[in-house]
Amino acid sequence: MQTPHSAPGHVYFVGAGPGDPGLITVKGAQYLEEADVVLYDALLDERLLALTPAACEKIHVGKRGGHKSYAQEDINNLLVQHARAARRVVRLKGGDPFIFGRGGLEAMHLREAGVPFEIVSGVTAAAGVAAYAGIPLTHRDIASSAVLVTGYEDPTKTTPSIDWSRLAPLDSTLVIYMGVSKLAEISNLLLQHGRPADTPTAVVEWGTWPRQRTLVSSLECVAADSQARGIGSPALIIIGRVVDLRPYLDWFESKPLFSKQVLITRSREQAGDLQLLLEAEGAQVGVLPLLQIQPPDDPGALDASIGRLHQFSWIIFTSPNGVDFFFQRLHHLGKDSRAFGGARIAAVGLATAEHLQAQGLHPDLVPQNQSQDGLVEAFSSISLQDESVLLPTSALGRDLLPTALTTRGAQVERVIAYENRPPEPGSVDLPPALQNNALDLVIFASPSSVHHFAALLGAEQTHTILSSTAIACIGPTTAQAVADLNLEVQIQPQESSIATLVQAICTHYQEKPHE
């Protein structure tokens, strides 16, 4: 058993970074993986919570200006209460716990209560958001210093602690947190105290998130321009000549899928890798879980086939799900890949082959045309007379392959390895971009997802939505299901894998950037 990094009865203040979940530190992720309870703020990507153990208690305490939150005293008391119960407590805060948050106040309360704590620094917005906007805070030829300022001081203060008259003349980059609602007031103060009216100024909304927007203006015009563009919080204000470097250093907003609204129609469990790859290319991704992938209600037939795997000449897998659920049952029965004996293995495509390879098996046959039709063609040159073939599929598997192999003289045993069910009525929340018909791209990975999409939305709405957006499909069978709805598929990779699908999507938008 691995030695834990954290200790019971301790509180760990962990900086989550400004938005992108990949910006959390290794140490912060380690503490989340061991947490018994997590108290987390608003404006965090909740995928970070997936790092926690299944039994971890997760408490959303808010802490966003202008929104309902736990009272600070209640948060302090919760931290003490859970630590004294000998739990590993993570206080997950946006950015860095000690920069314009209340990490210092909360840590002081723990010190007074005699509760041990540790601070895990995070990427603060000044560093992370500026970098994602392509703006260096310092540059040896332009700015040798940066000043971090809050635009949202404690309203109970009788005397402001920020002296704008002293900040205005500095030849430094000014970075203002939580100041977008007071942007007109702040810019006027700086202008009154001598900051040049044409000073380059940027406002970055939702920095490091796929929905990031960056407005570049001058100090004199930035408040009006921000209001005209509808810029709101969360936003970071950057004032200084370094803003002029953005056209040369912008990398995030120039990604091929930046700002594209993409819908994945897979189960949440299966959407993860595809979502991460799309977001890495700049897309805003919504998930519509149209498939509930589950083991068969009665695994008896599957178990019987696994018990005599060595008797089959060929075992053919037609999907990654078929591989995963087959091996789950194989392992449940106390067996491993040795149970295959001398049986040869075929995979419908590269994605299925990769799942087999993860189990230590390299398929003997992967057709060039990655589909069931391709498998039929690939087997046309292989003698199947009186050969026994095992075909683990979903309950909705097509008849094409078993029929073709039986015609060739094979003895085909088709067994259900998993169920592919539509979602329960009322169990699916439609992503906002789908509700507003604001999608740029819909991705289908199986014929079932196409059928369930149409069943969920109805024929008329399905045609309205899919006629006004691009459609991407994995595999010709899925593309045919879309064609059966009298709709056109714009993107279909030659290989049936997640990586090639994302590459094909990027290529499509690079060639047709305005679609």
Residues catalogued as catalytic? 41, 63
For the residues of 155-210, what is the DSSP string, one character each?
TT-SS-S--HHHHTT--SEEEEES-GGGHHHHHHHHHHTT--TT-EEEEEETTTST
Q: How far apart are CA 80 and CA 72, in angstroms?
A: 13
Q: Smallest Cα–Cα separation from 389: which of 442, 317, 322? A: 317
What is residue 111's three-state secondary structure? helix
For the residues of 350-393, what is the DSSP string, one character each? HHHHHHHHHTT---SB--SS-SHHHHHHHGGGS--TT-EEEEEE
SS (H, E, C) 24-64: CCHHHHHHHHCCCEEEEECCCCHHHHHHCCCCCEEEEEECC
- Among 229, 246, 167, 243, smallest CA distance to 200 is for 243
**How far apart are the two ends of the chain, measured CA to CA in Å?**
52
Question: What separation in angstroms does the CA of 411 have from each of 160, 311, 403, 406, 414?
Answer: 84, 12, 10, 6, 10
The pairing of beta strand 344-347 with beta strand 314-317: parallel
